[in-house]
A and B are shown apart, each in its own frame.
Chain A
Amino acid sequence: MLSRMIRSIALCWLASLALFTSPAWAHGEKAQQPVLRMRTLHWFDVDVSARRLDVGQTLVVKGSFVPSHAWPEHVPSAQQTAFLNIGVPGPAFVRLDNRINGTPGIRSSSFKAGVQYDFVITLKARTPGRYHVHPLLNVKDAGPIIGPGIWVEVGGSAANFSNTVKTLTGQEIDLESYGLANAAGWSALWAMIGLAWFGYWLSKAPLVLPRFRRVVELGNDRADEMITGRDRKAAMLTLTVTLLLVLGGYFWAQERWPINTPLQTGKIETAQLRREPSPLTVRMDEARYRIPGRSFRIELTVTNNCQSTVSVGEFNSGNLRFVNAKVLQAQPRDQDDLVAPDALRVDGDATIAPGQTRKIVIYADDAMWETQRMTTMITSPDSVIAGMLFFYDAQGKRWAVEISGPMIPLFG
């Protein structure tokens, strides 16, 4: 009976171990409200320089984002303070460089609605493993707005990793270990002095009950008689050593590292690249989401001021890419890449001739609406959606236009 119980407990323990040590399948992106994913940042062209690399090799993450014109009023905006970050599990990589439109993104910045920002994040692999690498933008008071993720596998050995920088005083240091022995040494020295003080009182053991009884016996007013002249000398010595060591340590450090600066912070202004204004204007006339069919029907009025005929190739919203296979060939790069290669359909004639203004109806139909928990958009207090439409001409030239407007759910 007992052995059966022990076996059952062991089995449960092993099962729970297997459960908790399985790889993470998602990183919270699905948990974010659809309104945050669809109406804050539009991420596109996100890619990595390698899917497999070794410790010490560099990985470049590139892409673009556009802060939405439809940014919800109740969510603090990236137009105030934001920081381009990278979503990886801890310091599996070190970040060597962060560029947004060529501006170094070491500090926080602000990003204007409707402006396209091209980013390049250069990382160096530090720890072996398989990581889902996402760009993300931390927005002050709003939290992280995560971009599309790509799986990257890092091989090699963490023991081979080093991370050196050169200080302005000309010293080359390895950030993996710099200053630790010094910090541990000082900490140990103070711990020894503290333990010596505690040890002095422990040497009077037995301590707790005899001293408690004596305090009760003498009463609070006379209990000071328990403090001996030796105690006072020990206290005076300890206090003197402590004060001298604090001051001595300070002056020693000033002597040893005379050139130092305070911690640096602040905001920088990110450059805006000069881009040709979009020759396309698009108005979203109506958007209806049919819940049972997982189908988004969007009516648009498009004016084409390009020199060439264009067609809708892609609708991108909340990091989900719905592709019109007749215009664009795009395949998922891995099992978690949110690309539906043939899920965008245009009703009737999909082309818009130069100078033409016409209404078109597009359908973005895919189970991703459900599997990526986008259907909870119907519970939003502000039922508005937004996304990016990508138009292509016959030569493959691309124009991106943001659309946004109210959404009506259809329940039957």
Chain B
Amino acid sequence: MTALPHPDQPLTPAEARRVDAQLDWVIIPLFVLLLGAVFSFEFALLVGDWDYWIDWRDRRWWPLVTPLALSTLSGVFGYAFWRLLRIPVGATLSILALTGAAWLSRYLNFHGFANFPMNMVFPSTYIALGLMIDCILLLTRSFFFTGVFGGFLMGLLIYPLNWPMLAPFMVPVEMHGMLLTVADTMGFQYVRTAMPEYVRIIEQSTLRTFGEAVTPVTAVFAGFLTILSYWLWVWIGSLGVKAGWLRKAV
């Protein structure tokens, strides 16, 4: 048994390093859990069914709404991590935590409890979007340019990023003389009492200027909106970091 050092005695560098490391072990896992919980709640409110069901991920609304929701915590925590620690992980870590929580929730709630097949409710992937934001922030060291390039890519690439997961569900099927996708077929067959067909918001809007090019038009529009949204949330993050209570607590 080793004797405890006297409280007034300064810590050796090795001891100080050990204390810092131990603090990391407490703070970082707690923070990841917090991020997962907060982001899941926020994502459920803002995106919800668009991400829950395979037959909701359309070419117009899902890729427009989702990056706007993703840019919130990416902006706030991206700013906080960079400003306080100079670590560009805010976007990646928040989206990683969201992804982990989403897989857990879909497996336990949607599949295990409500009994929907997992392939109907698996979460989309957004981690690449967080990586782009964080890497661009490190390379440019500017939230302005991170918004311009990272924010734009976040909106632009959400559909192609998920296409390898979605494409098999967009294969056509004929059912009772009607054309459906595999995803539509699942939506019809696996009964959702409180979710009639008309509730889905499939390509409802006036963004039809370029004829059949629905996805690229939406992607570019989503990119521009996400730039603005990212800047807004970075600004909100800057207000949060300035908060007096935070400095006192730290």
Q: Does B116 contact A (CB under 8 A)?
A: yes
Q: Total interface residues on B, using CB and 8 Å?
A: 88
A191 touches B93 (CB 8 A): no
A194 touches B86 (CB 8 A): no
Q: Which 3 A-B pairs have the closest CB atoms?
A: A206-B20, A138-B196, A83-B196
The listed residue with most B CB atoms (<10 A of its CB), out of A90, A107, A138, A246, is: A246
Taking the closest CB of chain B, its distance from the CB of A213, in whole angstroms, is: 9
Q: Does B205 contact A (CB under 8 A)?
A: no
A168: B residues at CB distance < 8 A: 171-174, 179
Given the interface pairs A198-B89, A208-B28, A245-B128, the reply to whether A191 lies near B123 with Cβ below 8 Å is no
Q: Does A307 contact B (CB under 8 A)?
A: no
Interfacial residues, chain B to chain A (CB-CB below 8 A) = 17, 20-21, 23-24, 27-28, 55, 57-59, 83-89, 92-93, 95-96, 99-100, 103, 114-119, 122-123, 125, 127-128, 130-132, 134-136, 138-139, 141, 157, 160-161, 163-186, 188-194, 196-200, 202-203, 214, 250
Taking the closest CB of chain A, its distance from the CB of B150, in whole angstroms, is: 10
A215 touches B85 (CB 8 A): yes
Write the A176-204 contact mask toward B (1 if CB under 8 angstroms, else 0): 11111011101100110111011001100
Residue of A nearest to B85 (CB): A211
Q: How far is the CA of A206 from the CA of B128 in the complex (A)?
A: 26
Q: Does A396 contact B (CB under 8 A)?
A: no
Q: Is the interface of A mostly helix, strand, loop or mixed?
A: mixed
Taking the closest CB of chain B, its distance from the CB of A95, in whole angstroms, is: 5
Stretch at the interface among A223-231, A382-390, A399-407: A223-231
Q: Does A79 contact B (CB under 8 A)?
A: no
Partner of B172, one of A205, A214, A224, A261: A261
Q: Does A85 contact B (CB under 8 A)?
A: yes
Q: How far is the CA of A242 from the CA of B122 in the complex (A)?
A: 22
Q: How far is the CA of A214 from the CA of B199 in the complex (A)?
A: 53
Q: Does A243 contact B (CB under 8 A)?
A: yes
Taking the closest CB of chain A, its distance from the CB of B194, in whole angstroms, is: 7
- Besides A91-B114, A92-B191, A108-B196, 8 new A-B residue pairs in contact (Cβ under 8 A), listed by A number: A96-B189, A168-B171, A178-B119, A178-B168, A178-B182, A194-B96, A261-B172, A265-B202
Residue of A nearest to B93 (CB): A198
Taking the closest CB of chain A, its distance from the CB of B108, in whole angstroms, is: 14
B203 touches A262 (CB 8 A): yes
B167 touches A95 (CB 8 A): no
B179: A residues at CB distance < 8 A: 168, 261, 264
Given the interface pairs A209-B20, A236-B139, A260-B167, the reply to whether A87 lies near B193 with Cβ below 8 Å is yes
A256 touches B167 (CB 8 A): yes
The listed residue with most B CB atoms (<10 A of its CB), out of A183, A193, A261, is: A183
B197 touches A260 (CB 8 A): no
A90: B residues at CB distance < 8 A: 114-116, 191-193
B173: A residues at CB distance < 8 A: 165-168
Q: How far is the CA of A180 from the CA of B83 in the complex (A)?
A: 40
Q: Does A25 contact B (CB under 8 A)?
A: no
Residue of A nearest to B54 (CB): A179
B199: A residues at CB distance < 8 A: 138
B165 touches A187 (CB 8 A): yes
Residue of B nearest to A88 (CB): B191
Q: How far is the CA of A62 from the CA of B159 in the complex (A)?
A: 42
Write the A242-268 contact mask toward B (1 if CB under 8 angstroms, else 0): 110111011011101101111111010
Q: Does A335 contact B (CB under 8 A)?
A: no
Q: How far is the CA of A235 from the CA of B139 in the complex (A)?
A: 7
Q: How far is the CA of A202 from the CA of B119 in the complex (A)?
A: 33
CB proximity to B under 8 Å, residues A72-131: 81-83, 85-98, 104, 106-108, 123, 126-127
